[in-house]
Amino acid sequence: MLLKPLVFVLFFWFQLTILFAQAPSYDHYTTANGLASSTVFNMMQDSKGFVWFATLNGACKFGGSQFTTYRTVDGLHSNSIISIAEGNNGRIYFGNFEKGVNILEKGKIHNYYQEMLGKQFQINTLLFSAAGKNPQLYAFTKPWSLFIIREDSGSMISSVKVNVNNLDLIKLVKLPSEEILVLTSRGIA
């Protein structure tokens, strides 16, 4: 009579020990595999499934077996890419640490923004939000400014500087609802 419950408990105990013994698998990529630099600042997966890496030595696109690297010889303002964001129609935006924003569109890299309000700027973070009628690219820059760049239906683009009450911006975070949170030295704005 006690044998059945004992066998039942032992069976499930052995099953649980087997389940917890599994380890997740992962791949480790380095410059030997084609990654442009071992210093990676940002990464994202685009709508086509490619994984993009913002590195100290260019922007890398990974398709599952090989890397394609974009550098200044391909049209980037700088090889120090800090942030990557995908916009509408497969456009890829590159945030340069030294000189603004480039865009990859239809296989070619173009100058998107090199100056804001008449001054060169460094990018810290790029985020793209497709919420609402006017999709927007949020550019968090040094010296600590936040710009919203509206991407209109054609190639017409405008920008505005957003006043964040002289707070030190730390990071931008996009929520699943497409809302953008601004993390500052004094909390969330």
Q: Provide the residue type at 27 as one letter.
A: D
Residue range 113-123: mean pLDDT, rounded: 64
Q: pLDDT category, 183, cuts 50, 70, 90? A: confident
Partner residues linked to 116 by β-bridges: 119
Are residues 85 and 128 in contact, defined by beta-carbon separation less than 8 angstroms? Answer: yes
Q: pLDDT category, 153, cuts 50, 70, 90? A: very low
Are residues 84 and 43 in contact, defined by beta-carbon separation less than 8 angstroms? Answer: yes
Distances (CA, A) of 155 to 91, 132, 150: 12, 18, 10
Partner residues linked to 148 by β-bridges: 138, 160
Higher pLDDT pick, 111 / 75: 75
**pLDDT tens readout for residues 51-108:** 999 999 999 999 988 999 999 999 988 888 888 888 877 888 888 877 778 889 888 9
- Exposed/middle/buried for residue 125 (C-beta within 10 Å: 0-12, 13-18, 19+): buried
pLDDT at position 10 over 50: yes
pLDDT at position 6 over 70: no
pLDDT at position 36 over 90: no
Residue range 99-126: mean pLDDT, rounded: 75
pLDDT at position 168 over 70: no
Rounded Cα gap, residues 51 and 72, in angstroms: 20
Are residues 144 and 135 in contact, defined by beta-carbon separation less than 8 angstroms? Answer: no
Helix, strand or coil for residue 154? coil
